[in-house]
């Protein structure tokens, strides 16, 4: 009897872990950021594609769905989307039907402390900030980060 109880207790944690992974595998999605750099501003296009056959429901703890940061070639952060902004502290949900894409565009005017950043190559990092996907905690946070290099043109 004791042996059976030990086997059950030993296998129980593995079955929980397998279930959490199963939930994420059955809800495939792709998160990405693209940039459209103009002379006065850059637009960050945030895309969440539902690659599966079931609807997705992303739950966020605030009205901030994504964090966007921009770094220069030395890795110094020159822009953070949330800096100086306030977000509604209430649960928010984005629902995406099968094979559909959620799209959101955020902008940055190349200004840091009232000064335009120099032309050159920069890296944008966008991080999706949900706490749950279809009522289950998200375990694999790597799928929630997208990086892309882009060039800021010379000021006209």
pLDDT tens digits, residue range 33-73? 999 999 999 999 999 999 999 999 999 999 999 999 999 99
Q: What is the mean pLDDT of residues 9-31?
A: 48
Helix (H) or strand (E) holding 151, with range, is strand 145-152
CATH superfamily of 2-152: Intracellular proteinase inhibitor BsuPI (2.60.40.2360)
pLDDT of residue 26: 58
Q: What is the domain partition of the chain in residue ranges? A: 2-152
Are 56 and 28 contacting, i.e. CB atoms less than 8 angstroms apart? no
What is the DSSP secondary structure assignment for residue 15, as one 8-state letter?
Answer: H
Are 33 and 148 contacting, i.e. CB atoms less than 8 angstroms apart? yes
Q: Tell me the pLDDT of the chain averaged across its residues.
A: 85
Torsion of CA 65, 29, 103, 141, to 10 degrees: 30
Helices and strands (H and E) in the chain: how many: 1, 13
Q: What is the mean pLDDT of residues 110-114?
A: 93
CB atoms within 10 A of CB 70: 23
């Amino acid at each position: 009897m004791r042996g059976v109880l030990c086997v059950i207790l030993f296998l129980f944690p593995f079955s929980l872990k397998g279930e959490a992974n199963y939930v994420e595998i059955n809800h495939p999605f792709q998160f990405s950021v693209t940039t459209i750099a103009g002379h006065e501003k850059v637009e960050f296009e945030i895309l969440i594609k539902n690659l599966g056959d079931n609807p997705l429901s992303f739950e966020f703890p605030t009205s901030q769905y994504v964090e966007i940061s921009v770094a220069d070639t030395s890795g110094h952060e020159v822009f953070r989307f949330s800096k100086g902004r306030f977000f509604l502290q209430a649960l928010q949900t984005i629902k995406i039907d099968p094979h559909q894409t959620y799209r959101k565009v955020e902008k940055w005017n190349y200004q840091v402390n009232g000064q335009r950043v120099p032309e050159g190559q920069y890296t944008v990092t966008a991080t999706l900030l949900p706490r749950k996907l279809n009522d289950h905690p998200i375990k694999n946070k790597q799928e929630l980060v997208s990086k892309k290099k882009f060039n800021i043109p010379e000021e006209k």
